[in-house]
Structure 1
Amino acid sequence: MSAAGEFVDDTLQREASWYRAEELRHRFGSRMQYYGASVGAVRGTVRDALRRHAGLSHDEVTALSSELWEVPVYERRLAAVVLLQSKVELLTNSDLTRIEGFVRDARMPSLVDPIAVDVVGPLVERLEGQPRVRADAVLDRWAVDPDVWLRRASLMAPLRALRAGGGDWDGFVRRAKIASDMAPAETTEGETTQDRPTQYRPTQYSGPDQEAVDAVLDAVAERRPELRLAFRR
């Protein structure tokens, strides 16, 4: 383990709390381990690590994020997200492959959403030219992926920019329509999902991807009421 990685892990373990670990296990399940460090402690630890190891290069930052993520401990993975948030200006569209792996592993809003909103979104927004075209193509691919958490990330990514008055609304609408079309449909005996036209699919489905659509619409509703989804009733 790198010196920075050891510092982060050691500090998080010193911040451990058994009752907080139990609370997290109750909330998120047992598929991961939990130290029981608070979100504030995780953020402070990453901030201190970046002070101790100032001037980390792009490759060092991304390698450290993978190192932290590799061990399935919630606080380590949250620290990896905070690290990428803190150094998002170093990231490029080629880093979306690594981030995609993180999203596929995460499978919970408390990790997927900050990756999407605070890492993927700002990364994509500052790209121009061919890199932006490639990044948008990645988000479009995520939007049709069978992994619902990857679809959620593609939808949540433009939230900050849209809320601030910019953002790729057309891209969001395109991906939201895909999410709507991919929503599971209830069927009668002998009927398949494909047998039922899209407009007759039930509206009560509220999976992680549909929750993301609602979150973005709620975020822009007050300041940008003109942004609406015509296909939603």
Structure 2
Amino acid sequence: MTDACDFVDASLQRESSWLRAEEAQARLGDGLQYYGASVGAVRGTIRDMLRRHRDLTHDDITALSTELWSAPVFERRLAAVVLLQSRVALLDNSDLTRIEGFVREAQLGELADPLATDVVRPLLAGLEGQARVRADVVLDRWAGAPDPWLRRAAELSRADAPQPPARRSTTA
């Protein structure tokens, strides 16, 4: 693990609560492990990590998001989403492939929806010319995919799409 990933993982585990972990598992299912860290703890951990590692480039951000996502732990995957949200200005249309993999594996609206609305949507808004055309081709492919999570992500990513209803989360 990289130093940044080690920092995030250790921080999330320090912020964990077995009670919140059990509640999250009951609410979200058995598909992932749960540390039981709050959403605030996840956001604060990413904020602190970015302060410690101010020089992260596009490649560092995308590699770290993949490293965080690689463990089947809800809070780590949420941290990957928060990281991408925090640095969406560094992303480009070529990052949609990585995000597509995350959406396919998410299997939870709590992870897939913010990828679509808070990462892909602003990413698209910042693209112009050929990069935007290429991104639109990807989103069109997602819209016609057999995977319901990709179809939902395509719909939510469009600028005129309604935002998903706010989720009240006491766990993540």
Give the TM-score of the pair, scaled to structure 1. 0.69
Higher Rg: 1
* Greater length-normalized contact order (CA 8 Å, ≥ 6 residues apart): 2
| 2:12–2:35 CA contact under 8 A, matched in 1 | yes
Give the number of aligned pairs.
Answer: 165
- Is 1:77 aligned to 2:72, yes or no? no
Asked whether 1:26 is paired with 2:13, we answer no
State the 1:126 CA deviation.
1.0
Specify the code of the residue in structure 1 equivalent to 2:89.
Answer: E
1: CA distance, partners of 2:92 / 2:45: 25
Unaligned regions of 5+ residues in structure 1, if any? 163-171, 173-215, 220-233
Give the Cα–Cα distance (whole angstroms) in 2 for the partners of residues 71 and 218 of structure 1. Answer: 26
Equivalents in 2 of 1:115, 1:95: separation in Å? 12
Instruction: Tell me the equivalent position of 1:38.
Output: 38
- 8 Å CA contact retained: 2:156, 2:163: no
Task: Report Cα offsets for 1:166-223 as digits up to 9, x if no partner.
Answer: xxxxxx6xxxxxxxxxxxxxxxxxxxxxxxxxxxxxxxxxxxxxxxxxxx1888xxxx
Read off the aligned partner of 2:84 and give its amino acid letter.
Answer: L
Counterpart of 1:115 in structure 2: which amino acid?
A: L
Partner of 1:186: none
Q: Which residue of 2 aligns with 1:4?
A: 4
Residue 99 (str. 1) matches residue 127 (str. 2):
no
Alignment of 1:51-90 (within 5 A): 51-90=51-90
Matches of 2:145 and 2:54, distance apart in 1: 38
Query: 1:50 aligns to what?
Result: 50
Equivalent residue for 1:128?
A: 128
Give the Cα–Cα distance (whole angstroms) in 2 for the partners of residues 217 and 87 of structure 1.
20
- Alpha-carbon displacement from aligned partner over 1:77-118 (angstroms, at most 9, x marks no partner): 000000000000000000000000000000111101100000
Task: Tell me which stretches of 4 or more aligned residues in structure 1 moved more than 2 Å.
Answer: none
Q: Distance in 1 between matches of 2:72 and 2:163?
A: 32
* 1:146 counterpart SS class: coil
C-alpha separation between the residues in 1 aligned to 2:146 and 2:87? 30
Q: Which runs of 5 or more residues in structure 2 are unaligned?
A: 166-172
TM-score by length of 2: 0.93
- Residue 10 of structure 1 aligns with an amino acid whose one-letter code is A
- Partners of 1:89 and 1:139 lie apart in 2 by 19
Cα distance, 1:125–1:217 mapped onto 2, change above 3 Å: closer
1:27-55 per-position Cα deviation (integer Å, ceiling 9, x unaligned): 11111000000000000000000000002
Aligned-pair identity in percent equals 65
User: What is the CA RMSD across the aligned residues, in angstroms?
Assistant: 1.3
Q: Structure 2: how far apart are the matches of 1:34 and 1:114?
A: 19
Quote the residue 1:141 is aligned against. Answer: 141
User: What is the 5 A alignment of 1:191-230?
Assistant: 216=162
Amino acid in structure 1 at the alignment position of 2:24: L
In 2, distance between residues paired with 1:61 and 1:217? 26
Q: For residue 125 of structure 1, report the CA deviation from its aligned partner.
A: 1.1
